[in-house]
């Protein structure tokens, strides 16, 4: 079977284990696992450092080559643990981290100024114990810093070899469009990815952002592809996950809405049809689009990691996609 222009049906056998599918990272020549290991909570429990390192190593054994973190995750602890975990295997990993959030008490200890970016990239390199970062992402928009200052600083990091590619996160369509235009105008390294929240519960990017990314070859990195875990739990939770409720502060209900119940029930129905976990249905729906370079999953234990990674390569039938689309309409 030949690979599509965007999806490489490349299978990597590691220690007799998992076969994974890879996709191009946006328009670049880099191939990343369509399931990425997200490290937002890696190291949140100080006593569990050895367990966290085992999680990282298991992700590599499963064929996952894309690991995502940020300088603010667990106050830098996530990057520190990754640095330890990747000793001797750094070359096997496409490593992504982010900059923007507050990392100190000083007035300039946050944002996307050249000053803050240059200081934080050095701090991330130290914590990660690496000479370069594969994908350096701005975590969210900074209204207090001129965009050209941010983009020029990122371009300089690429030219210095400290960063290979740059991306953004949580950018709206107009923010990404303006960024791409400025980079093209000035010959600077441009954003190759946009990491955004995308799931059956939140399809807001489909209106403007997703078509823009398809047009310009910007890879979507989907975080919370299971709605903060809501679409992976059985039976249905009595309330939305805390992270989900926090991301939707405008929601009027603290209980599960009728739409959320309808989506969960449909996912459950389709999961029973295939004999798969609910998580596989939610992930396969997100990954149905070639513009999605990777779906970022977190895991608190090896069993959860293995279950989510096993969704790689699973495809939904057209009629199931149509049903999910219908039931998840706002």
Active site residues: 73
Backbone angles phi, psi at 97, to 5 degrees: -140, 180
Residue/partner pairs of 26-30 with CB below 8 Å, 24 or more apart: 26/192, 26/193, 26/217, 26/218, 26/219, 26/293, 27/192, 27/217, 27/218, 27/219, 28/165, 28/192, 28/219, 30/94, 30/134, 30/165
Contact 79, 106 (CB under 8 A): no
Query: Other CB atoms closer than 10 Å to residue 277's CB: what's the count?
Result: 16
Query: Other CB atoms closer than 10 Å to residue 253's CB: what's the count?
Result: 11
Q: 280: which 2 tokens?
A: 């596989």
According to DSSP, the residues that pair with 97 across neighbouring strands are 136
């Amino acid at each position: 079977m030949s690979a599509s222009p965007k999806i490489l049906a490349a299978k990597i056998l590691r220690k007799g284990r998992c076969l994974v599918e890879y996709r191009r990272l946006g328009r670049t020549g880099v191939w990343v696992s369509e399931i990425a290991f997200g490290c937002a909570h890696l190291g949140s429990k100080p006593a569990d450092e050895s367990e966290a390192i085992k999680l990282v190593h298991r992700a590599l054994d499963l064929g996952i080559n894309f690991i995502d973190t940020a300088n603010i995750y667990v106050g830098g602890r996530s990057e520190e643990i990754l640095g330890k975990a990747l000793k001797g295997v750094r070359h096997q990993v496409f490593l992504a981290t982010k900059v923007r959030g507050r990392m100190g008490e000083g007035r300039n200890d946050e944002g996307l100024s050249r000053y803050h970016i240059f200081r934080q990239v050095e701090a991330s390199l130290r914590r990660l114990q690496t000479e370069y970062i594969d994908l350096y992402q701005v975590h969210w928009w900074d209204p207090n810093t001129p965009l050209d200052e941010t983009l020029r600083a990122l371009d300089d990091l690429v030219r210095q070899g400290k960063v290979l590619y740059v991306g953004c996160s949580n950018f709206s369509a107009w923010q990404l469009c303006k960024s791409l235009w400025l980079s093209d105008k000035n010959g600077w390294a441009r954003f190759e990815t946009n990491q955004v929240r995308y799931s059956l519960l939140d399809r807001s990017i489909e209106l403007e952002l997703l078509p823009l990314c398809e047009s310009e070859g910007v890879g979507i990195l989907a975080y919370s592809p299971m709605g903060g875990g809501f679409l992976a739990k059985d039976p249905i939770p009595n309330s939305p996950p805390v992270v989900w409720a926090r991301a939707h502060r405008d929601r009027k209900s603290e209980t599960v809405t009728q739409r959320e119940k309808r989506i969960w029930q449909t996912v459950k129905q389709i999961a029973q049809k295939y004999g798969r976990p609910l998580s596989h249905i939610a992930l396969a729906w997100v990954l149905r689009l070639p513009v999605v370079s990777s779906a970022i999953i977190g895991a608190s234990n090896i069993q959860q990691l293995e279950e989510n990674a096993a969704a790689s390569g699973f495809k939904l039938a057209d009629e199931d996609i149509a049903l999910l689309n219908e039931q998840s309409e706002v």
